[in-house]
Amino acid sequence: MSGAQGKAAEIAHAVAIVAEVDKSRIDTRMEQGWIKKCAETPEESIRLAKESMERKEAMSIAYHGNIVDLLEYASAERIHIDLLSDQTSCHNVYNGGYCPVGITFEERTRLLQEDQTKFRKLVDETLVRHFNAIKGLVAEGTYFFDYGNAFMKSVFDAGVTEISKNGRDDKDGFIWPSYVEDIMGPMLFDYGYGPFRWVCLSGKHEDLKATDRAAMEAIDPERRYQDRDNYNWIRDAEKNQLVVGTEARILYQDAQGRIDIALKFNQLVREGKIGPVMIGRDHHDVSGTDSPFRETSNIKDGSNVTADMAVQCYAGNAARGMSLIALHNGGGTGIGKAINGGFGLVLDGSELVDDIIRSAISWDVMGGVARRNWARNEHSMETSIAFNKEKNGSDHITIPYLTDDEAVKRAVEKYVK
């Protein structure tokens, strides 16, 4: 349990049940205040959720048990679930990332060490049941989205070809959308919005609050609804008690937003108002990761299986002077299923860092927008055209020619025998 799901539900004024087999994870999140209640049975979980819904109160509930038991109970009892997803570590499904139903967490740990063959068999059987439970709930109106954690790929590998969109293999994706396909891609990544991060290296909470204020000043909440959401997020960050360790924040911003905020931070450092700040981003971003089942799943021109973008992003960041640059395999979806490029830049107050911010962050973000623009994603094309006008004379993104698909099809049929 990352804890993020429960906290997100409360911030959104929703009621969430988050299943977790490891009680120690639940205890940690309850101590931190990121989970409010814990239930030991599916029945108790649903009862607590219904009570909060009737009172119209936001609530985060941990169910100490297997998600399959919870979903099968909800399906059998015809309990409507509005939103459903899965964030188990299916990128490592046979090595502890996914716990079979019907056994305790302790038994799972023992089987991992003593009987891998039996463990794999139980995992596959559970994945099939998990799929069937979700299918039943979706048929009754539940919206299920895949987190991109290789859950649907694991279901396919367990023998459920029904989950494949083309009924044969995983090349065309699966019957339910990745949340990048339905949500993150068209609403955020296509515009360049992604998880911008910073850490106050002084370790002082006052510095973090100063960066919050600076970030708010840099955001125009009237520009787009995404900016309104992000403005509200950072405005309420202190109230929502998001810090659990390092004095750090994460805030979705587009290229210009990230540049503006980073320049403000560097100015604060230059003026001695805060200590040094390190900026970066999650690998789950616009340009830094190639992963056909998650980050690049809404790129439909056939290039989603390539890893060029992440490598070019990495190399460009190195050439432009980022403090730390990383390129690695895996990351959330599993080894062989993603290439990730990451960076970190220390803001020391220097004018040199101002120049790096303007050059490198634009490269880091707009490469992914360009890629989506070439795939004819509508909002990426709009964003790229606007970028070209603003950066006329310095930077430029090639805009694709739009064609009449039917005309192309007729020409192919006429001339290609």
Q: pLDDT digits over 49-76, tens only?
A: 999 999 999 999 999 999 999 999 999 9
Q: Which of 178, 213, 232 is the last residue of a domain?
A: 178
Of the residues 116, 143, 178, the one at which a domain ends:
178
Q: Which residues of the chain have pLDDT under 50?
A: none
Give the residue from 59, 57, 80, 70 showing the smallest Cα distance to 20: 70
User: For residues 112 and 138, what is the distance between their CA atoms, to the nearest angstrom?
Assistant: 32
* Same domain assignment for residues 159 and 200: no
Residue where a domain stops, chosen among 132, 151, 178: 178
Q: Total structural domains in the chain?
A: 2
If asked whether residues 288 and 215 sit together in one domain, one would say yes
On whether both 234 and 96 belong to a single domain, the answer is no
pLDDT at position 293? 79
Q: Would residue 12 count as lying in a domain?
A: yes
Q: Is residue 402 part of a domain?
A: no
User: Does residue 226 contact residue 273 with C-beta atoms inside 8 Å?
Assistant: no
Pair 95, 210 in one domain:
no
- Same-domain pairing of 159 and 81: yes
Residue 348's domain comprises: 190-390
Two tokens, residue 87? 């964030």
CATH number at residue 61: 3.40.50.10730
Q: Are residues 225 and 275 in the same domain?
A: yes
Nearest Cα residue to 314 out of 339, 334, 347, 348: 339
Euclidean distance between CA atoms 278 and 266, whole angstroms: 10
**Are 133 and 263 in the same domain?**
no
Alpha helices by DSSP H, listed for 341-395, are: 351-356, 362-374, 378-390
Pair 287, 331 in one domain: yes
pTM of the complete model:
0.90
Tell me if 411 is assigned to some domain.
no
pLDDT at 88: 86
CATH, residue 375: 3.40.1770.10
How high is the pLDDT of residue 399? 97
On the CB side of 212, how many CA atoms lie within 13 Å of its CA?
A: 20
117 within some domain: yes
pLDDT in tens, 315-347: 999 999 999 999 998 766 778 888 988 999 999
Phi and psi at residue 336, to the nearest 5°: 85, -5
Give the per-residue pLDDT at 1: 61
Q: 288 and 327 share a domain?
A: yes
Residues 53 and 195 occupy one common structural domain: no
